[in-house]
Structure 1
Amino acid sequence: MASRPDDSPRRAAYEILLRVDEGAFADLVLDTTLNRSQLDSRDRGLVTELVYGALRLRGRVDFALSQFCDRPLHRLQPGVLRLLRLGAYQLLELDRIPAHAAVNSSVELARELEMDQATGLINGVLRALARGKADIDWPDASNIRRYLQHVCSMPVWLSKELMRLLPNAEARALGEALAQPAPYSLRVNTLKTKRDQLLTALAEAGHRAHPCSYVPEGILIDKRGDGPLPGDAEGWYQVQDEASMLIAHLLDVQPGQRILDCCAAPGGKTTHIAVLTDNRAEIVALDKYPQRVALIDQGAERLGCSSIAAREWDLSEKPDFLAPASFDRVLLDAPCSGLGVLRRNPESRWNKSAVNLRELAVLQRQLLGNVAPLVKSGGRLLYSVCTFSWAETDEQVTTFLADHPEFQLEDLREQAPPEWAELFTEKGTLRSYPHRHAGMDAFFAARFRRLD
């Protein structure tokens, strides 16, 4: 009997990867598939591992496959290559799966998908890989570009970006970090509980966790138990990376302020601002799409954040319904390339290019220009992105200051706790990296003050 995505983890992974190749987002398709499936927790974990791993390490997997396939990979039928990548990922990265199981399940899945003509090829290539994987001549780190491409699974354009930004040793360290699975962290909702109380509840439920390194409300999950995390329905926490948690703190929000969160969905930073102001600030949250505005409202209700008014608006147009100089704080967490969160959105490695960086930089400059007039005299504008490309970070700061002499760049080190000092550059901007800062995502932030 043929397997279905709801009862076979490998079939489910294949179907998700097919959707991703067609342009879907891996996390959304994965969530939808798992919510509809009858798979147990162990098989659901395997689906997640196969999908994210095969996407994250596609460059490494393809390099290995090319050593044992007698034809160029790009000439294979897409479905056949997809099956080879799934099988090869298991052989290279999942020691708990026996080689014969990885090979045989790939061949059987090919038959189920009516690719009988390719079963011989799939069987031969994967068996050869299983026998010869220990002898693969992987590029040495001394050849940094090939190492980034074929060991760290970076496309050519992204390898060049890392090499331009960092010395070779650091480019290697960042590349290696981005090839690893992302950490799983929680922001404690201090409107409803305390970090120590949630840590105790997690331990009692069989989960291993410890406090994050920097933010006082962060928890890092080391290993999940079999059951759900406690406090989800009660709104005790928000899933959020530690780098993202830094942003609301750096905005320097206070009760009584009027605060604008631009491009706010899904609302993690918005609700964090509400928590830090104890629901005693006036927060306006904007997003371009109505379904994403709904996510802000849902998250605010779950967490008990009552000070947020969310509405739809495309900030590539000037928000004429908002009065000039009417906000004490403005957060622009701008649309960006997402290079700093590649571990969470691994398909981004393969569907973006250097051209996208330039296009995004133009949009970011436009958004900054449209929201800057909303800042009060003496107020602050925080620009943040989850990326590290020069065009979207330092270059944006230079351009904004040239375009807007009424603003000055502030040194974030002056407000931040002393133990955060290593997170900042000599200019006082935030630059977090997973290989430097306790595994957190790569974020950038710069804060501008409007002159009196």
Structure 2
Amino acid sequence: MTPAARIAAAIEVLSDIDARRRPAADALKDWGLSHRFAGSKDRAAIASLVYDALRRKASAAWIMGEGTPRAVMLGMLRLQRGLDADAVAKLFSGERFAPEPLSEAERDRLSKGTLDGAPAAAAGDFPEWIQPSLERLLGEDLVAEMQALTARAPVDLRVNTLRAASRERAHDALPHLGAVETPHSPLGLRILPGEDGRGPAIQAEPEFLKGWIEIQDEGSQLAALLTAVRPGEQVVDLCAGGGGKTLALAAMMDNHGQIYATDNDARRLAPIHERLARAGVRNVQVRTPRGGADPVADLDGRIDCVLVDAPCTGVGTWRRNPDAKWRLRPGSLEVRRREQQAVLDRAAGLVRPGGRIVYVTCSILPEENDEALAAFLARREGFSALSRGEVLAGAGMRDLEAALRPTALGWQMTPLRTGTDGFYVAVLLRSS
């Protein structure tokens, strides 16, 4: 397919997403099934165009003066891909399989349109209804922070010290990937996104198959490190899902002590078993819920550290899931807040006196972070938030302080400040 034909296909997919209000991945899959002539490179290029358009949906609509799929694509090519009006006109030629030629109004918008005077939600490409929440956290940095969430995310790798001796050894084994060391995590390697938006096939690499590396955003790596778990401790990963942080904790504990990995959705736990075996992890018990019974009921009051990787809206992952921002609704935020309170209450029953709850989300909304913890502390006696300095000191990561955004009860990571997804971390201590 020609570049112009790929753009036409991407506009078709965007139209399907708009009409049926469906996830981008589903629309792209259906397009591929009905256009089997398109090769893998064509499908990848079309997906990249679609996701870039969704990243810049509001700002592209602002400069083009309308929000149709065609207008959003045009605006994205200008804002995200850096094409001028002449370059765009060559792609929108109306020739075979190419989109219809530019109108005079479209060319004028492409030539003269700017984000000057655009409201914050348009300039920062986010739903207007969450602006008050974002302003409470970000203040004057609102637009700059949200614009950073429109960029493509890199592929971050965590070096598994249970298999590879060091980050340097893993790096030297993967010279063809062009990886660089992550700036904050001592275990991370980063592969920057290519021009076509495609990443390398990490899961086919021999080092991945041998368990030397795992795909994990640097922010998630830092969240695991800030738990400060130690060999010999008793740990519960209460929302373990596929096991990314479980694996990181096991390596930090050097396979000594015990981690109990569980999740209220048994289906989410399915991948963890193969991942544990590949990574050489031997100190994890997977507790799969069955028949409505609490799989960790026997652990109440015994646990040194409970990791609560809480269910959340995922606002901090919009670099990777740009279509999710336009499907977010107030009702879904309320559902997540109730789930967060429930899982915090369950964690409170597990942790021993003197133990800690490490609360993590991949959100930047205060309702899911500081405010969720404040509500918990207001109704549960015997818990207090560790100071931010104590958290960093306990993890041996004082150098990280300059990069993190402090909040009332914890730390916030963002793409602008830390170059990571938007992770929140706070630590609660149980005194009695």
Shorter-chain TM-score category? 0.7 to 0.9
The answer (yes or no) to whether the contact 1:328–1:376 under 8 Å persists in 2 is yes
User: Structure 1's 410 and 107: CA in aligned 2 closer, same or farther, altered over 3 A?
Assistant: farther
The gaps in structure 1 that reach 5 residues or longer are 68-72, 74-80, 111-121, 141-145
User: Structure 1's 372 and 221: CA in aligned 2 closer, same or farther, altered over 3 A?
Assistant: same
Point out the more displaced range, 147-156 or 41-50: 41-50
1:149 Cα shift? 2.1
The answer (yes or no) to whether the contact 1:259–1:328 under 8 Å persists in 2 is yes
Output the amino acid matched with 1:267: G
Output the amino acid matched with 1:208: G
Output the amino acid matched with 2:16: L
Identity %: 27
Point out the more displaced range, 343-352 or 12-21: 12-21
User: Structure 1's 304 and 48: CA in aligned 2 closer, same or farther, altered over 3 A?
Assistant: farther
The answer (yes or no) to whether the contact 1:333–1:383 under 8 Å persists in 2 is yes
Output the amino acid matched with 1:11: A
The answer (yes or no) to whether the contact 2:251–2:281 under 8 Å persists in 1 is yes
1:332 Cα shift? 0.6
Match of 1:432 in 2: 413
Equivalent pairs counted in the alignment come to 415
- Is 1:312 the counterpart of 2:288? The answer is yes
d(CA) in 1 for partners of 2:32 and 2:171?
27
SS at match of 2:236: strand
d(CA) in 1 for partners of 2:37 and 2:60?
29
Match of 1:182 in 2: 153
User: Structure 1's 286 and 138: CA in aligned 2 closer, same or farther, altered over 3 A?
Assistant: same
Match of 2:301 in 1: 325
d(CA) in 2 for partners of 1:316 and 1:219?
40
d(CA) in 2 for partners of 1:315 and 1:380?
29
User: Structure 1's 313 and 243: CA in aligned 2 closer, same or farther, altered over 3 A?
Assistant: same
User: Structure 1's 246 and 108: CA in aligned 2 closer, same or farther, altered over 3 A?
Assistant: same
User: Structure 1's 137 and 9: CA in aligned 2 closer, same or farther, altered over 3 A?
Assistant: closer
- Is 1:165 the counterpart of 2:137? The answer is yes
d(CA) in 2 for partners of 1:265 and 1:29?
25
The gaps in structure 2 that reach 5 residues or longer are none
- Is 1:102 the counterpart of 2:74? The answer is no
d(CA) in 1 for partners of 2:319 and 2:356?
31
Match of 2:382 in 1: 406
d(CA) in 2 for partners of 1:242 and 1:106?
45
User: Structure 1's 371 and 303: CA in aligned 2 closer, same or farther, altered over 3 A?
Assistant: same
Match of 2:401 in 1: 421
SS at match of 1:266: coil
d(CA) in 2 for partners of 1:27 and 1:262?
28
- Greater RCO between the two (CA within 8 Å, min separation 6)? 2
SS at match of 1:388: coil
Point out the more displaced range, 186-195 or 156-165: 156-165
The answer (yes or no) to whether the contact 2:145–2:416 under 8 Å persists in 1 is yes
User: Structure 1's 96 and 314: CA in aligned 2 closer, same or farther, altered over 3 A?
Assistant: farther
The answer (yes or no) to whether the contact 1:187–1:219 under 8 Å persists in 2 is yes
The answer (yes or no) to whether the contact 1:316–1:367 under 8 Å persists in 2 is no
Point out the more displaced range, 181-190 or 131-140: 131-140
- Is 1:259 the counterpart of 2:235? The answer is yes
1:449 Cα shift? 1.7
Q: C-alpha deviations, 1:178-218, integer Å up to 9, x for none?
A: 12222221111122212112222232x2x322211111101
Output the amino acid matched with 2:192: D
Match of 1:445 in 2: 425
SS at match of 1:309: strand
Please list, as runs of the form range in 1=range in 2, the aligned pairs for 1:274-423 lying within 5 A after superposition. 274-313=250-289, 321-411=297-387, 412-416=391-395, 417-422=397-402, 423=404
Output the amino acid matched with 1:369: D
Output the amino acid matched with 2:179: A
The answer (yes or no) to whether the contact 2:60–2:74 under 8 Å persists in 1 is no
SS at match of 1:60: helix
Match of 1:155 in 2: 127
Q: C-alpha deviations, 1:383-421, integer Å up to 9, x for none?
A: 111112121111122122122212221121331322012
Output the amino acid matched with 2:60: V
Q: C-alpha deviations, 1:78-130, integer Å up to 9, x for none?
A: xxx435534553355335794245324798378xxxxxxxxxxx5455x6424
d(CA) in 1 for partners of 2:290 and 2:49?
36
1:219 Cα shift? 1.2
The answer (yes or no) to whether the contact 1:185–1:221 under 8 Å persists in 2 is yes
User: Structure 1's 367 and 442: CA in aligned 2 closer, same or farther, altered over 3 A?
Assistant: same
Match of 1:63 in 2: 62
Output the amino acid matched with 1:284: Y
Match of 1:11 in 2: 9
SS at match of 2:77: helix
Match of 1:90 in 2: 77
The answer (yes or no) to whether the contact 2:359–2:427 under 8 Å persists in 1 is yes
The answer (yes or no) to whether the contact 2:54–2:323 under 8 Å persists in 1 is yes
d(CA) in 1 for partners of 2:378 and 2:293?
21
d(CA) in 1 for partners of 2:288 and 2:247?
17
User: Structure 1's 92 and 398: CA in aligned 2 closer, same or farther, altered over 3 A?
Assistant: closer
- Residue in structure 2 matching 1:199, options 171, 176, 179: 171
Task: Compute the RMSD of aligned alpha carbons.
Answer: 3.5
Point out the more displaced range, 277-286 or 341-350: 277-286
SS at match of 1:167: helix
Please list, as runs of the form range in 1=range in 2, the aligned pairs for 1:218-257 lying within 5 A after superposition. 218-222=188-192, 228-229=201-202, 230=205, 231-257=207-233
Q: C-alpha deviations, 1:216-256, integer Å up to 9, x for none?
A: 10112135699644423222211111111112212221222
1:335 Cα shift? 0.6
d(CA) in 2 for partners of 1:199 and 1:179?
28
SS at match of 1:310: strand
Output the amino acid matched with 2:425: A
Output the amino acid matched with 2:183: S
d(CA) in 1 for partners of 2:149 and 2:172?
31
User: Structure 1's 443 and 345: CA in aligned 2 closer, same or farther, altered over 3 A?
Assistant: same
SS at match of 1:359: helix
**TM-score normalised by L of structure 1:** 0.80
SS at match of 1:219: strand
User: Structure 1's 24 and 252: CA in aligned 2 closer, same or farther, altered over 3 A?
Assistant: farther
Output the amino acid matched with 1:201: A
